[in-house]
Structure 1
Amino acid sequence: MPEPAYLTANRANWDDRAVAHVASPDYRVADFDDPEFLSDVVRFDAQRLGDVRGLRTVHLQCHIGTDTISLARLGAKITGVDLSPVSIDHARELAARTSAQADFVVADVYSAPAALDAGSDLDQGGGFDLVYTSIGALCWLPDIDRWAQVVAELLRPGGGLFLRDGHPMLHATNESRPDGLLTLEYPYFETEPLIWDGDGTYVQTDHKITHTTSYQWNHGLGELITALLRHGLELTLFEEHDTAPHEAIPGRMTQLGNGEWRLTDHPERLPLTFTIAATKRPRSGDGFRLPAAR
C-alpha cells in the first residue's frame, strides 16, 4: 500500500525545517554544550511533570532532540521518535556531542509501537512509564483517536502521558489579516486537512524551505480528551495557558524572559497552549466504556 500523501509531504517539509532549526538561534543548540542547560520548553514543563528520574520514556515527534536531551538530563531513560530522518540525524549528533543518554528512532507516530517493539515482553501493552509530547505536534496528525490508541499501546498500566501543545483556539485563529483583527477562520474540530504552501518556518532563519507543501489538522479539546478516555487513560491534569514558547502571533506578542510569549493586548482573550497529563488504567472488564470512534 502506498504511503499517504500527507506523510510523504510532511516528512520532506520537516527534513527541510530540521536544517533551518539546527542553525537558528531560537533552538539554542549551541547552549547544550553546557551540561546544565535545559530547553525552555522542558523548563516550563518540569514544574508540572515532576520527577522523571529512571522513568522509561518515549518522546513522540521529538524533532531535533532538544527537548529529548533535556529530559535525559533530568534523569529520564528516553527514546525520541520522529518521522524525519534528517531531524533524527541531528538529534543523534547533538546527543553524541553532549554525551546525552538518549536513543532515537525514525518512525511516524502511528508506526511507533511497531518501531519500538512495544509490548514484546509485557502482557498488558507497552512498557513505557511515560509518553511525552511537546509543542507543535498534534496538528500534523490526521486522526486524534488513533494517536490516543498509540499512547495507550506504548504505556504500561499505571504509566503516564504528559502533553503540552498549541491550543486549538490558536490554530483556528487567522492572525495575518490586513485589518489587524484576530478572527476565527479555520476549523476548530478535526476535519479534512488544511494544505499549506510556504517556504518559511516559525524560527529566525534565512533558510528557505524547498519542500513547501504541508498538511495540518486541528483537534478540539473535547475530541482529544474523549479519545484519551476511550483508550483507557484518566486525566490527572488539564490546564490552559495564555503563553506559548514561540511568537505564535508575530508582531503582537511580548516576550516574558523565560522563553514564553504572551499577547501584548488583552492576553486573557485567547488561550495559546494547554497541558494535559493522564494515567493509563489497569485493564478491567468491569465499568463503563466509551464506544469506539466513528
Structure 2
Amino acid sequence: MSKPLRVALLQERDRGSREANLDAIEVGLREAAAQNAQLVLLQELHNGPYFCQHESVAEFDRAESIPGPSTDRLGSLAAELNLVVVASLFERRAAGLYHNTAVVFDRAKAICGKYRKMHIPDDPAFYEKFYFTPGDLGFEPIQTSVGKLGVLVCWDQWYPEGARMMALAGADLLLYPTAIGWDPADEDAEKARQRDAWITVQRGHAVANGLPLLACNRYGFEPAPTDSTAAGARGIQFWGSSFVAGPQGEFLAQASTDQRQLLIADVDMQRSENVRRIWPFLRDRRVDAYADLLRRYRD
C-alpha cells in the first residue's frame, strides 16, 4: 500500500449496559470516521463488564448469536461510515457452546470474517475456561480492503506461536482486542512489571514478524461480583495503555492508563516490506529443527 493506513483504537470503559456501550462505540466510530480513519479496533468483550471475574451460569445470558443484534448495529455503522471495524463479542454458538469471538466488518453490514479466541486463561479473576470453548477457526488472517488482518484476542498476546502463525499465513497487521488489568492489592512495582511485560511481549511479536501491531485495551475499575469469594475477588483496575507499534516495535501511538481515548495512528504499510528485507527472520527460520514445538514440554 503506497499511502499510510490510518487506524483508530477506541479505548473505553464499561458504561453499564449493552446499549450504553454500543452507544459509546457509535460515538467513537463516528469520531474515527471524521478523522479519516479506515480501520477501527475495539476492546475485548466491549458490550459489557468483564464478567469472567467469577463463575456464574447467569452470565451466559450476556451471549448472543453471530450474526445477531450487535453485529447488525455495528455492521450498519461500518457500512454508513465506510470503515473496517474489528469488534469483540461473547458468542452463543449453540446451547452449552460459547466462544470469545472477534468479528470483522469490511465497510459493509455483512460480516467478512471471524476469529475465535484460541488460548483461554483460567486464573484468579480471569475464569474464562468456565465460559469459552477454545477457538476452532485456526490462525487464519481475514482479508479486508485494507489488507489481511491477523486478529487474535487478549490471552493470545502472550504466545509467539499465534502471531507467527498469522504472519506465516500472510497477515499484514496483527490486532489484539484486550481486557487486562491490575489486582488492586498488588504493589506498585508489581503493577509496573506486569504492564511493561504486556507491552514488551507484543512489541516483540511486531519485531519478530516484521508487522505493525495494534492492541486495544479497556480502562477503569470494575468491582468483583458480589457473589464472588474466590481469591483475587478484589476487582480489576484495567490499565488501558492501548498502543500501535510499527514492524520494528517502535511506538506509533500510545494511550493513557486511565481515560477514554480514541487513539489515531498512521501506519506505513510499506515499512513491513522494507524491514523484512534487512531483517529476514522468515528466511532464516530453521523449520527442519522445530518439531519439538509440537510437544507440551521436553521431559
Higher strand share: 2
Q: Same fold (TM over 0.5)?
A: no
TM-score, structure 1 as length reference: 0.40
